[in-house]
Amino acid sequence: MSDLLSVHEVTKVFGGVRAVDGASLSVKEGTITALIGPNGSGKTTLFNIITGYLKADAGRVEFAGHDVTGSDPGRLYRQGLSRTFQQARIFPQLTVQENLVVAGGYGWRKLFTSRVGREDRLRADSLLEEFRLDRVSDLFASELSYGQRKLLEFAAVLMSSPRLVLLDEPTAGVNPVLIETMERHVRERNAEGITFLIVEHDMTFVMRLCDPVIVLDAGKPIFAGAPSVVQNNALVLDAYLGS
């Protein structure tokens, strides 16, 4: 398997804090890779740099063999790299269906076509049905519960036919039933060829779903390997529990 995403020596400093400190890692195509680490270890900052929401102070990011360092998030999205956020970010003033349509991506030519065209509707409805959100498709997204918003955000990133999806704490604040649903969707999409990089604190979720697991501490990876190995690694235990 080739590397779909490579991060080389990336550094990001906020004031006097080195949030990401020369981090290098790679994500192989077709895997469900986890990125774990204690709070403040730089996981979300690294996510923001990879997806273009933050500019790195140093280092390089490659996606699908191309240097995409500092690329605009929209451009990366169109190239197949999409993400979700720790706090689900949806468009509250749009309906659930429209949230999916806007995430479907459209160029200038389509800008003046119908708000929700026939093709858009078919595509969005099929995803909404799959995510059991079809009953609320006409509601404003602001009316959804927290868990439903998480599902909606996940469904929305799939509208763009991504190659790599970065999920930032997909299970945070979500009940066990919904966690199972989320897990199922990740597995199904992965079987269809989508690669995942997941930041997560729920270790049972990570151990069940992800392989490999990359552990980040103080802004740089300290270990990468199979979940069973990670659990017993002294460096990892030290990072989480302290020496």
Please report whether residue 135 would count as binding other proteins according to CB under 8 A. yes
Please report whether residue 108 would count as binding other proteins according to CB under 8 A. yes
- Give the pair of three-digit tokens for residue 197: 């990089």
- Give the count of residues interacting with other proteins (CB under 8 A): 50
Which range binds other proteins by CB under 8 A, 73-81, 122-130, 200-208, 234-242? 73-81
Half-sphere exposure of 172 (CA within 13 A, CB side): 13
Among 89, 119, 126, 229, binds other proteins (CB under 8 A): 89
Please report whether residue 113 would count as binding other proteins according to CB under 8 A. yes
| CA 57 – CA 6 distance, rounded (Å) | 17
Please report whether residue 55 would count as binding other proteins according to CB under 8 A. no
| CA 102 – CA 96 distance, rounded (Å) | 10
Which range binds other proteins by CB under 8 A, 24-32, 82-90, 121-129, 204-212? 82-90
Among 47, 63, 77, 223, binds other proteins (CB under 8 A): 77
Q: Which residues contact residue 207 at a Cβ distance below 8 angstroms, ignoring those fewer than 6 apart?
A: 227, 231
Which range binds other proteins by CB under 8 A, 15-23, 60-68, 74-82, 209-217? 74-82
Rounded to a whole number of angstroms, the minimum distance from the CB of residue 12 to other proteins is 17
What DSSP letter does each residue of 162-189 carry, written as one string?
-SEEEEESTTTT--HHHHHHHHHHHHHH
| CA 191 – CA 195 distance, rounded (Å) | 9
Please report whether residue 98 would count as binding other proteins according to CB under 8 A. yes
Among 33, 45, 71, 181, binds other proteins (CB under 8 A): 181
| CA 243 – CA 68 distance, rounded (Å) | 38
Please report whether residue 240 would count as binding other proteins according to CB under 8 A. no
Rounded to a whole number of angstroms, the minimum distance from the CB of residue 50 to other proteins is 12
* Strands, sheet with 32-36, edge to edge from the N-terminal-most edge strand: 81-83, 164-168, 195-199, 32-36, 213-217, 220-225
Q: Which residues contact residue 171 at a Cβ distance below 8 angstroms, ignoring those fewer than 6 apart?
A: 178, 179, 182, 200, 202, 205
Residues that bind other proteins (CB under 8 A): 51-53, 72-74, 77-78, 82-83, 85, 89, 91-94, 98, 101-103, 105-108, 110-116, 132-133, 135-136, 139, 143-148, 156-157, 160, 173, 175, 177-178, 181
